[in-house]
Amino acid sequence: MPGTYTGIYFFSESYAMLPLLSIKNLSIRFNNEGSQSAAVENISITLHRGKTLALVGESGSGKSVTAMAVLQLLPSNAIVEGNIAFSEDAVSQKNLAELRLKEINKIRGNKIGMIFQEPMTSLNPVLTCGQQVIESLVLHRKLSKKEATERTLSLFTQVELPDPPAMLNRYPHQLSGGQKQRVMIAMAMSCDPDLIIADEPTTALDVRVQKNILLLLKKLQEQNNIAILLITHDLGIVADVADEIAVLYKGNIVEQGNAATVLNQPAHNYTKALLACRPASNAKGKRLAVLSDFIETGNEKIKGEQVQHPVPNESNTPVATGSNHIVLSVQQLNVRYGAKKNMLGRIVQWQEAVKDVSFNVQQNEIVGLVGESGCGKTTLAKTILQLIHPTSGKILLNGKDLSELSSSQLRMERKDLQIVFQDPFGSLNPRITIGDAIMEAMQVHQLYNRQERKEKIISLLESVQLQADHYKRYPHQFSGGQRQRICLARALALHPSFILFDESVSALDVSVQAQVLNLINELKSSFHFTALFISHDLSVVHYICDRIMVMKSGKIVESGTADKIYFHPENPYTQQLIDSIPGKNLQRLRSEMLGENRRTSQ
């Protein structure tokens, strides 16, 4: 049979010698209206049982395309060349790229499990979590409904979901992000696969949840001797779990080998750049390294400072720039929801989302708010924006109590209170150009005439490092980092006195994240805005913020200067958040990479 390779082995150790997955000379192109674009070019990787291979690179580097090719999940316009050999037993391999649909369906979810990046869109919203796992077991293992239910309950226990029997009957929207990801892991593990492909399984998750997910995968790997193909952009994660690393850049593998060797002695400048641009590895207040500091982009090298930034320590931290003028004052704020009603519809149980929260944000200061999903961060943000009315307490913006303003008065005050959302694509109207999206706020508040608005928008685009001719483009024509720059420009269009950043960099590649954080620092100096920066990542918050507040179960459990919270936390919960930052041992490498790069450039 074409694509099948057989051989006879007489010793049991030969089974371990035969790679579980062997990709050789894989090239993937997409046919678009007669023209072809290359996504992956002639790459080769090998993965053995019980090992973790990390495929590392930015968005667009070809990571996910490679993973999709393994399971024949690419669209019909994809042209795949090369060999994807998979070992089902000790004596044979199959070329997955040549299998018919019926044959590949026997392998999908059975021999090879898949954990997708976004569990909410990967899980069926109209089926309970239990039904979705049971369905896979009935299909692939031919179990009865009762047997499949018992197996699912065991899997939910194995992946450490709270109250597994209750989880069987819950829908995806009733679970947190970490819990949904555990359901995805249970589904991937349901048929005892030999290989799990984990495509960015922890992106945008809280650092503690992220750490727990990675530990869970490692634990399941050891128990079942499975291989893991881990797709990620974060070398910090790789440092904690991977045995081997393959670094992808523009569809080519530029470096691969043992994880410790690649991380400690990276040979390619792209790998050095990925190590260097992480906020956890940088001195507070200094410019983050970006790709252009290490490699050329296009025909010309983008300008970037070729300087060495030391590993973060308290002596490098600049003094906070806040003044005595208080821009935002939150006083004894409480927000609660009705959690349970009786038969008459009366609320008999309340959920306290925000409990007696008080803090001030001074002019030209960025204050960080850190906490896990469900701690009350988003509720607090919505209440500040007056999208939720507080149960009690006050929110003063430049001395005015927002809760006491009429609708028309509040509308006028909103120009001083802007937000940058987590998902830039979701917060931009796909049907209007970015120029019109930025102009919309100016029109609502009747600022400038049309020509002045256009000039202002072009100036804003240039301020966020976009070109003037981008004015007439639509959101889908930009990358994720560019869309976030557009959202920054839109937030600054009205010259607000206060900006709320809601997880604005959590889902970005680390290199793009570095560019956006550098831009926020630059814009703060030129636009003199005050901000509340909400995130679950303490390394990012420490880098960008003057002060930090830590939130848990609706309360502020600790607050202080960025250095005090990051280096000398007093609350055990804060310490847990810091300990969960992935790849903390990579901090020392950053200084070495920049130092070497500096010497090379000279």
Do 343 and 511 form a contact (C-beta atoms < 8 A)? Answer: no
Do 365 and 321 form a contact (C-beta atoms < 8 A)? Answer: yes
Q: Give Cβ neighbours of residue 388 (< 8 Å, ≥ 6 apart).
A: 335, 379, 382
Maximum Cα interatomic distance, the chain, rounded to a whole number of Å: 83
Do 190 and 155 form a contact (C-beta atoms < 8 A)? Answer: yes
pLDDT of residue 12: 42
In a domain, 534, yes or no: no
Specify the residue for token string 């060495």: 308
pLDDT digits (tens, 9 = 90+) for 493-521: 988 999 999 888 877 888 888 888 988 98
Give me the domain span that covers residue 166: 50-72+100-276
361 membership: H or E segment, kind and range: strand 347-362
In a domain, 352, yes or no: no
pLDDT of residue 158: 84
SS3 per residue for 303-353 = CCCCCCCCCCCHHHCCCCCCCCCEEEEEEEEEEEEEEEECCCCCEEEEEEE
Q: What is the DSSP letter of 265?
A: S
pLDDT digits (tens, 9 = 90+) for 5-25: 333 333 344 444 678 999 999
In a domain, 156, yes or no: yes
pLDDT of residue 228: 94
Q: Name the band, by pLDDT with cuts 50, 70 and 90, for residue 301.
A: very low
For residue 111, give both structure tokens: 């021999």
* % of the chain with per-residue pLDDT over 90: 40
Highest mean pLDDT among 198-202, 291-295, 325-329: 325-329
Bin 327: left if φ > 0, else alpha if -120 < ψ < 50, else beta. Answer: alpha
In a domain, 95, yes or no: no
pLDDT digits (tens, 9 = 90+) for 305-320: 333 333 445 544 444 4
pLDDT of residue 572: 94
In a domain, 211, yes or no: yes
Asked whether the predicted pLDDT for residue 298 surpasses 70, the reply is: no
Asked whether the predicted pLDDT for residue 460 surpasses 60, the reply is: yes
Q: Name the band, by pLDDT with cuts 50, 70 and 90, for residue 297.
A: low
In a domain, 505, yes or no: no
Residue 77, classified by CB atoms within 10 Å of its CB into exposed (0-12), middle (13-18) or buried (19+), is exposed
Q: Name the band, by pLDDT with cuts 50, 70 and 90, for residue 45.
A: very high
Asked whether the predicted pLDDT for residue 36 surpasses 80, the reply is: yes
pLDDT digits (tens, 9 = 90+) for 118-169: 777 788 999 999 999 999 899 888 899 999 999 999 999 888 888 899 999 9
CATH number, domain with residue 248: 3.40.50.300
Q: What is the DSSP letter of 201?
A: T
pLDDT of residue 205: 73
Do 56 and 236 form a contact (C-beta atoms < 8 A)? Answer: no
- List for the chain the helix, strand, coil content (%; round to 5): 40, 25, 35
Q: Hey, which residues does 35 pair with through a beta bridge?
A: 32
Q: Which of 40, 47, 41 is nearest to 65 (CA)?
A: 40
Least confident span in 294-303, 339-348, 508-517, 545-554: 294-303
Q: Name the band, by pLDDT with cuts 50, 70 and 90, for residue 380.
A: very high
Asked whether the predicted pLDDT for residue 455 surpasses 50, the reply is: yes
pLDDT of residue 7: 39
User: Would you give the distance in Å from CA 172 to the centre of its chain?
Assistant: 19
In a domain, 222, yes or no: yes
> Across 139-297, where does the E strand assignment appear?
195-199, 227-232, 244-249, 252-258
pLDDT of residue 296: 65
Domain count along the chain:
1
In a domain, 225, yes or no: yes
For residues 401-410, give the mean pLDDT.
89
Write down the mean pLDDT value for the chain.
84
Q: What is the DSSP letter of 116?
A: -
Predicted TM-score (pTM) of this structure: 0.78
Asked whether the predicted pLDDT for residue 451 surpasses 60, the reply is: yes
For residues 67-79, give the mean pLDDT.
91
pLDDT digits (tens, 9 = 90+) for 559-595: 999 999 999 999 999 998 888 887 665 554 444 444 5
